[in-house]
Structure 1
Amino acid sequence: MHKKLRLGMIGGGQGAFIGAVHRIAARMDDMYELVCGAFSSDPERSKTSGAALGLDPTRCYGSYRELFEKEAALPEDRRVQVISIVTPNHVHFEPARLALENGMHVILDKPMTFSLAEAQELDRIVKSGGKRFCLTHTYTGYPMVKEARQLVASGKLGKIRKVYVEYPQGWLSRDEESGGNKQAAWRTDPHQSGIAGCMGDIGTHAFNLAEYVSGLQVSQLNADIQTIVPGRKLDDDGSILLRFKGGASGVLFATQVAAGEENNIRIRVYGENGGLEWQQEDCNSLVVKWLGRPSEIYRTAEAYTSSFARHNTRTPGGHPEGYLEAFANLYRNVAECIVADMEGRTPSPESLDYPGTAEGVRGMAFIEHAIASGRSDQKWIPFNIQ
């Protein structure tokens, strides 16, 4: 068995929800060991967070720049190999660039960067550097989402005609950002989040899921983007009409002001012969609907599912699994690819099935096109990436 990959984390200190999720995901398959980190922009808070995680105090750094400088000076058999970045959007590009230029693999929380230009530059660095890069679009890690993608790709549904994807949340139905909620504060701050709020935070997940499951790329969009809560600086609601290459059309709906909603991302895809439906609140089920015959319900951990679904199924049938396991599937898949690279092997297609810079660039392009359409009187705009 290969030694554990040495993992470092940037961001995700005490009180940060997503940092803890990444650490749980990294531990689940026992393929990583957290060895260092720069957990906060506050040096003391960073070191306190590292100490709470039981790390060597000399490898709890006051800044990510210090992390790269000092880790690069360590012997190769001790030096960090993989960097997990779980910071606000405006602190994505620079640490990712430094990690890649220092010969480290990167696992980065979405959206990929602060702007499309940064995403394109990061894509260029990854392509020229030979290191693995994973963007944590978590929902692509669910077994039944992978089954849905394989079912569409098999052609059984026929030519795809319609794609509907929605992501309703209610946690920002009030002005949470002014009341001390740090998660709300940075997500609604254009200096930290970028030009989009809701569309950057969860709209990108919906967009990624639509393209991943359907296997199609958006070619045009028409967006109605709104800010519902008075005084909020960024969007918190939006509806977008989509046109895909090949002729399919669809609708993307994302909101953070649907009071009472939690986190029920949902997708429906319809072809000439039938359709399918998946939602996170019943994530172990995939409903497949056929024209002229009864519907079917596919379940995880069953032998009839594809190798991609089985590869990402962790528990026996009937045992719930979800968000943390989907996150862990991304960490596991990229680790399998890194180990295969180190051993001179070709990774399996199932291991290679994780989001990378291509998805990150399209996600940032989606944000910029959606906001541009929302602000424009010319509503339908082409989805072009220069």
Structure 2
Amino acid sequence: MHRRLKLGMVGGGQGAFIGAVHRIAARIDDQFELVAGALSSNAERAAASAAELGIDASRSYASYEEMAKAEAARDDGIDAVSIVTPNHMHYPVAKAFLEAGINVICDKPLTSTLDDALALREVAKSSSAEFFLTHNYSGYPMVRQARDMVRSGKIGKVRKVQVEYIQDWLSAPIEAGANKQADWRTDPARSGLGGAIGDIGTHAFQLTDFICGEPLKELAADLTSFVEGRLVDDDAHMLLRYKNGAKGYLWASQVAPGHENDLRIRIYGERGGLEWRQENPNQLWVGILGEPKQLLTRGGHGTGEVAANVTRVPAGHPEGYLEGFATIYNEAADAIRNGRKSDSLSVTLDEGILGMRFIDAAIRSSKANAQWTSLGA
């Protein structure tokens, strides 16, 4: 038995989407209890949001600065803060709580700029607190299964990686209306210079890195804003070269009609290949050279301990998006309780910086007419 950890939240108030997702995920494994928040930059909306969520008025704050200071001073202060704001606020909020010695669980991407990401790493070095980034797809059981199979050599040395994350929700200029999510995600002052490449391209990149573990050497990217007047890219396709000689292709698009949340990856090695698709997340296709193609299912025969460790319900029952987030929160709770990084596979700040280097390299490459571009140090 363990006590629930006390959780605070910055952002995620009335009208927000991802805040509710994080709140559900934090409670799935009964690890956290939401007790404090600075839920909006608007003080009245923050107070109203806190009241709706049952947060005591004394722990509803008008600003994240006030919250970090007050919670750090309390004997019963929060154990961790969940940051669910637009991208441009990730850095200042995470900095304030790390400096206050409060553990941080932050939505992706790490920050809106590479410079902010590097600055945050320096802040974290002098903090006693831990940092976790919620790339939730890395928490899916069959993604963990794929990772284990690739890294144990089941398919041999990786030769080819093909990953795509395509949606259709930004096919029209809906940011010109009242769509709050579209509004900030297409505003470079809040999202960063990367549009689709920052919002979903980072997920695709992180998935390849998480499963394969092969360092990306360089990329050649072509970013496009197909919707007239849009200030950030809404489509990105690129070629990838890995340090081990493997080659890859990545496509991220939010203007692909007929696709809702279509993240899929195919990995081919010397002896076999794997295929996984987020919209059918409980299945992993395995093709070993010279053998019949095999379908592995979450909780079914043939899956290993790594997948079983993050499986919650019996085989045949849907498990995916919310549970993937919950796995990240569960692993964060384990690390926080142990006062150290756990042996889990949660995404760290350094991996978040790698994602920011990916965005930066893609933008630089595209501006140079898809020139091959290194990710840097």
Match for residue 123 of structure 1?
121
Q: Distance in 2 between matches of 1:322 and 1:74?
A: 36
User: After superposition, where does 1:250-329 map in structure 2 within 5 Å?
Assistant: 250-302=248-300, 304-329=302-327
Match of 1:383 in 2: 375
* Percentage of identical aligned residues: 51
Q: Is the 8 A contact 1:284 1:320 kept in 2?
A: yes
**Any idea what SS the aligned residue of 1:281 has?**
coil
Question: For the residues of structure 1 that align with 2:126 and 2:282, how far apart are their CA atoms?
Answer: 38
* Equivalent position amino acid for 1:379 in 2: Q
Q: Describe the SS at the equivalent of 1:293.
A: coil
Q: Is the 8 A contact 2:266 2:273 kept in 1?
A: yes
C-alpha separation in 2, matches of 1:297 and 1:247: 28
Distance 1:239 1:17 in 2: 27
Distance 1:99 1:129 in 2: 9
Distance 1:72 1:134 in 2: 19
Q: State the match for 1:359 in structure 2.
A: 351
The alignment covers a number of residue pairs equal to 377
In the other structure, the counterpart of 1:38 is 38
- Partners of 2:217 and 2:374 within 8 A in 1: yes
Question: Which secondary structure does the structure 1 equivalent of 2:353 belong to?
Answer: helix
Alpha-carbon contact 2:72-2:102 (below 8 Å) kept: no
Q: Output the CA distance in 1 between the equivalents of 2:257 and 2:369.
A: 29
Q: Distance in 2 between matches of 1:145 and 1:377?
A: 34
TM-score, normalization by structure 2? 0.98
Q: Is the 8 A contact 1:219 1:383 kept in 2?
A: yes
Residue aligned with 1:239, SS: strand
Q: What is the match of residue 26 of structure 2?
A: 26
- Which whole-Å CA distance do the structure 1 matches of 2:374 and 2:335 have between them? 35
1:217 maps to which residue?
215
Q: In the TM superposition, what are the counterparts of 1:81-100 in structure 2 within 5 Å?
A: 81-100=79-98
CA distance in 2: counterparts of 1:312 and 1:39, whole angstroms: 30
Q: Distance in 2 between matches of 1:68 and 1:238?
A: 38
* 8 Å CA contact 2:133, 2:348 repeated in 1: yes
In the alignment, which residue of structure 2 is the partner of 1:79? 77
Whole-angstrom CA distance in 2 between matches of 1:169 and 1:216: 27
Cα 1:52–1:378 shift into 2, 3 Å: closer
Between the aligned partners of 1:170 and 1:128, the Cα distance in structure 2 is: 42
d(CA) in 2 for partners of 1:132, 1:288:
36
Q: What SS is found at the alignment partner of 1:377?
A: coil
Question: Conserved in 1, the CA contact under 8 Å of 2:72 and 2:101?
Answer: no
Contact in 1 for aligned 2:238/2:250 (Cα 8 Å): yes
The change in CA–CA distance for 1:281 and 1:378 in structure 2 (over 3 A counts) is closer
Q: Partner residue of 1:134?
A: 132
Q: Name the CA distance, whole Å, in 2 between partners of 1:11 and 1:226.
A: 30
Offset, 1:303? 5.6
Task: Rate the CA distance shift 1:288–1:37 in 2: closer, same or farther, 3 A.
Answer: same
Match of 1:7 in 2: 7
Deviations 1:158-214 (A, max 9, x none): 110000000000000000100111100000001101111110000000010011111
Residues 236 and 255 in structure 1, CA contact (< 8 A), matched pair in contact too: yes
Aligned residues of 2:222 and 2:370 also touching (Cα < 8 A): no
**TM-score if structure 1 supplies the norm length?**
0.95
CA contact (8 A) 2:98 2:124 kept: yes
Structure 2: unaligned runs, 5 residues or longer: none
The alpha carbon displacement at 1:30 in A equals: 0.8
Give me the whole-angstrom Cα distance separating, in 1, the residues matched to 2:370 and 2:69.
49
- Displacement of 1:339 in angstroms is 1.2
Is residue 2–residue 339 contact of structure 1 (8 Å, CA) maintained in 2? no
SS in 2 for 1:203: helix
- Equivalent residues of 1:10, 1:64 under 8 A apart: yes
Superposition deviation, residue 253 in structure 1 = 0.2
The question of whether the paired residues in 2 share the 8 Å contact of 1:144 and 1:309 is answered with yes
Q: What RMSD in Å do the two structures reach over aligned CA positions? A: 1.2
Q: 1:378 Cα shift?
A: 6.1
Within 5 Å, which residues of 2 pair with 1:92-241? 92-241=90-239
Distance between the aligned counterparts of 1:31 and 1:172, measured in 2? 35
